[in-house]
Structures are given as C-alpha cells and as structure tokens.
A and B are shown apart, each in its own frame.
Chain A
Amino acid sequence: DTGVSQDPRHKITKRGQNVTFRCDPISEHNRLYWYRQTLGQGPEFLTYFQNEAQLEKSRLLSDRFSAERPKGSFSTLEIQRTEQGDSAMYLCASSLVTGSNEKLFFGSGTQLSVL
C-alpha cells in the first residue's frame, strides 16, 4: 500500500494520559498535514510540515499538542494530559507541491476517545 498510513486506527485513553499518533506519508511527498475532525464537522487544520520544518500551527493546537517530523518522512502527533474535548478523528495528509498548486491525500485517521 503506497498511500498515507496512520497508526493506531483507534485509541481509547483515560483523561490525563498522554497519547501519540504516527503518520507515514506517501514517500515522495514533501508536505505533511495534521487535521482534526469531530462528529458532523469538516476536518480542521492543526499543523503542517514542509520536509522536516513545521511551518504553521493553528490556534486549535494548544500547548498540550506537539508534532514532529524528525527526518522529513514520518510524523508523530502527541497530546499530553488528554481531555475529553480531545476526542476526535485525527487525520494526516500528505502532498507533493508543484508550483502554487497542491492536492492532498489523506490517511484513514486515528479515532481518539478520551474517557
């Protein structure tokens, strides 16, 4: 499978615990995005990387959230001290930017439930 892969598919955790998600983008893609989606809503932008550099972070990304892409390949998203409001689907996407245009390819997401 040469698409975007995310791990785990589902995560159930207790409030206050830390969780980490992983995303493996399509291999030649230089941009990687994290989005969050709650029930009945469209995905909302969290952050993105150009190669290993984190270029933008949304105001949605509180200081409990941290994302890394250490070698410009896979990325991790960590949530510390989880809260019930963090329950959502976390989606990763990657793209290969050509000029000013861009098409994003999404993974299957990680569904987080905070009890």
Chain B
Amino acid sequence: KQEVTQIPAALSVPEGENLVLNCSFTDSAIYNLQWFRQDPGKGLTSLLLIQSSQREQTSGRLNASLDKSSGRSTLYIAASQPGDSATYLCAAYSGYSTLTFGKGTMLLVSP
C-alpha cells in the first residue's frame, strides 16, 4: 500500500526566501506525482504534475523534482511571497485510479 509523507508539517518563512518542501513515497511504481495547493476551507488547485519518466517540472517560481528510485519529490518555491501562504499537498498516482495524498505542509510567508 502506497504511503506518502510530507516534511515539514508546517513552515514559516519571511518574504523573499527560497524554500523547499519535501515529499516521500513508499512504492516507487508510480505513473506520476502531482503537487497541489489548498487555501483554508477551499478545494485543491493543481500546481505541477511530473510524469514518472521526467525528473522535474517548472512553472513560474515553482520547480518540482522527482527521484523515483529514492521515492522522493521536492517542491522548490523561489522568492516566496505572502500570497504563497497555503497548504501544499503532494499526491502519488499509482495507476488504477489510485491517487494517494500526503498530509500536506502548511506554509506561512510573512511580509
């Protein structure tokens, strides 16, 4: 059974800092890994999807990497802004409709 762990559970940084969120998964037989953003009381917004054959994906200030062999993914946020404050969730897709989420990292960027 796939298990996804996210570290840290919470992170507080001043505006402008670069930061890294970590995600690990136990079963490396995944098709893709997806990073989501969730604002309080809201649904999920997809940020980046990395296919199993890819090493990284970039969108604006966000860069996600994937290392299947070690069962790890990272989300790098450059030049953080207060508007980046949210919970970030990673989810591993193992095929057969199985998308397993971590518990998320709650990020607070202070002005």
Cβ of A109 within 8 Å of any chain B Cβ, yes or no, is yes
Nearest neighbor of B32 in chain A, beta-carbon distance: A101
Docked Cα-Cα span, A23 to B80, in Å, equals 34
Asked whether, in the complex, the Cβ of A43 is within 8 Å of the Cβ of B97, the reply is no
- Size class of the contact patch on chain A: 20 to 34
Number of B positions contacting A (CB below 8 A):
24
Nearest neighbor of B6 in chain A, beta-carbon distance: A42
Docked Cα-Cα span, A43 to B87, in Å, equals 12
Asked whether, in the complex, the Cβ of A100 is within 8 Å of the Cβ of B31, the reply is yes
Nearest neighbor of A6 in chain B, beta-carbon distance: B43
Asked whether, in the complex, the Cβ of B31 is within 8 Å of the Cβ of A91, the reply is no
Asked whether, in the complex, the Cβ of B49 is within 8 Å of the Cβ of A41, the reply is no
Asked whether, in the complex, the Cβ of B102 is within 8 Å of the Cβ of A33, the reply is no
Chain A to chain B contacts (Cβ below 8 Å), 6 pairs: A33-B99, A42-B102, A42-B103, A43-B44, A45-B98, A101-B31
